[in-house]
Amino acid sequence: MLHQLDISSARQRLLAREITSVELVRSCLDRIESVDPQCRAFLHVVAEQALAQAQEADRLLQSSDRNKPLLGIPVAVKDNVAVVGEPLTCASKMLERYRSPYDSTVAEKLKAAGAVLLGRLNMDEFAMGSSTEHSAFFPTRNPWATDRSPGGSSGGAAAAVSSDLCLAAVGSDTGGSIRQPAAFCSCVGLKPSYGRVSRYGLVAFASSLDQIGPLTKSIEDAALMLQVIAGPDSRDSTSEPALVPDYSNQLDRPISGIRIGLPKEYFVKGLDPEVESAVRQAIETYKSLGATLSEISLPHTEYAVASYYLIATAEASANLARFDGIRYGLRVPGDSPHELHANTRGQGLGPEVKRRILLGTYALSSGYYDAYYLKAQKVRTLIQQDFRKAWEQVDLILSPTTPFPAFPIGKMTDDPLDMYLSDIYTISANLAGLCAISLPCGFTRDPKLPIGLQLMGKPFDEANLLRVAQAYERNTSWHNDKPDLPSP
């Protein structure tokens, strides 16, 4: 059952030579073979390559290079983060046959830390979706109930971690795409502050919102993964040239006296009763640990969804213009350049991606720019100001991660607006550039479905965010529960 280990436990056993990386990787590969036909988390598995990396890790574990933080640890990567020589499809027909000619900065850092990369994880096409139903290849299913969505767009990453197909995963978060699937699948999902992790090699969806982050089995593992992938990068002009703290060393500091805000706009009608009950119990846990909790207001919350979906779609329409059938990717011939372009995008892009490109192009078009895109940017500024005022009163903000637990596959595909509203608690952190994390805080009764607790912190205050999250995890046991799936 080596696949059930978290990074910290596996690392201790590897360094003590109780297990080998080859044994650990084989256990994950066997688990993938046994379980993934039910979950469909992976788009591509590189078994031979992973075993070769594990053999090299075992060699290094017997040398002076054995202290690399992820040496021999099997990790999987969302299919919009470039890994040289591997597919980079973004779960789209447009890039179905494309392989990355280079490594993203995050992939470089994972490799330098000794991680064993298992393969590519499924997602909503070009990260546009909240259910992983918009993959061009197949939907991913929630390991806790395979008729339910695992969330999105990093649904493959969350399902893989939750069902022990890998020890950790890397995803991307544009409006909640790490945190929402982490909540639906009962794992830890961390969205770092905008600029904390390099976006070089991340296929852009909305460049002012996108951020790469880890999905893990514990807060301790999230701190370790962030330590590895964070830091400035000259290849990303939005990368913040700030020193990266030692997150792991700060995890066990007491949280007595920490000020936690409860936004009144987040605890309103429409919040599932069982979700609210679990979050309220978490509030009581924090009170018992010495935290001070108080109600705050984020008055422009009601405009966050509209603002986000104008900004994100506008940026997407610009970013996806590069997929034109001429430079790379799918090419569907036509009798003219216009026809080639139309044929390629018509056949290569799925309905949700087309919808967002159309929305964004409309918002940016002459005569509508001021009414839609510019106004959305002004609302974004007001939302950022809400948070700046909140930070004068509190150190962190607590809320549900999602308004409801995992929904049945197919339930929301006919009404995109319902799907968009599922991100109501997560998108503000992206609009304001905050760090935020989702961690398990309970389950619904029938069926048993995970519930996520969200903490949001000041920009570049991940150390404090992780410390407060660790205090809750250490005093609860929700993260220890596993979905009922067969073992190899």
Residue type, 353: V
The string of DSSP letters for 207-229 reads TTT-EEEEEESSHHHHHHHHHHH
**Helix, strand or coil for residue 488?**
coil
How far apart are alpha carbons 142 and 265 in whole angstroms? 29
User: What stretches of 229-361 adopt beta strand conformation (E)?
Assistant: 259-263, 292-296
Taking 3-state DSSP, the helix, strand and coil percentages for the chain, each rounded to the nearest 5, stand at: 40, 15, 45
The string of DSSP letters for 363-374 reads HHSTTTTIIIII
How far apart are alpha carbons 158 and 170 in whole angstroms? 9
The H or E element spanning position 45 is: strand 42-45
Contact 55, 71 (CB under 8 A): no
Number of neighbours of residue 324 by Cβ within 10 angstroms: 17
Sign of CA pseudo-dihedral 31, 32, 38, 41: positive
Structure tokens given for 102: 């280079």
Contact 225, 215 (CB under 8 A): no
Structure tokens given for 110: 């994972």
How far apart are alpha carbons 192 and 437 in whole angstroms? 8
Look at strands 116-121 and 74-78 and give their pairing. parallel
Choice among 21, 149, 153, 154 that is catalytic: 153
Contact 120, 43 (CB under 8 A): yes
Choice among 130, 135, 154, 177 that is catalytic: 177
CA 176 vs CA 49, 167, 206, 459: distances in Å: 32, 21, 13, 16
Active site residue 78: yes
How far apart are alpha carbons 388 and 381 in whole angstroms? 10
Active site residue 177: yes
- Backbone torsion region of residue 76, taken as left when φ is above 0, otherwise alpha when ψ lies between -120 and 50, otherwise beta: beta
How far apart are alpha carbons 450 and 30 in whole angstroms? 25
Active site residue 186: no
The H or E element spanning position 63 is: none
Structure tokens given for 153: 């767009």
The string of DSSP letters for 400-427 reads ESSSSSPPBTTSSTT-HHHHHHTTTTTH
**Helix, strand or coil for residue 328?**
coil
The H or E element spanning position 427 is: helix 427-432
Choice among 78, 191, 217, 458 that is catalytic: 78
Known catalytic residues are: 78, 153, 177
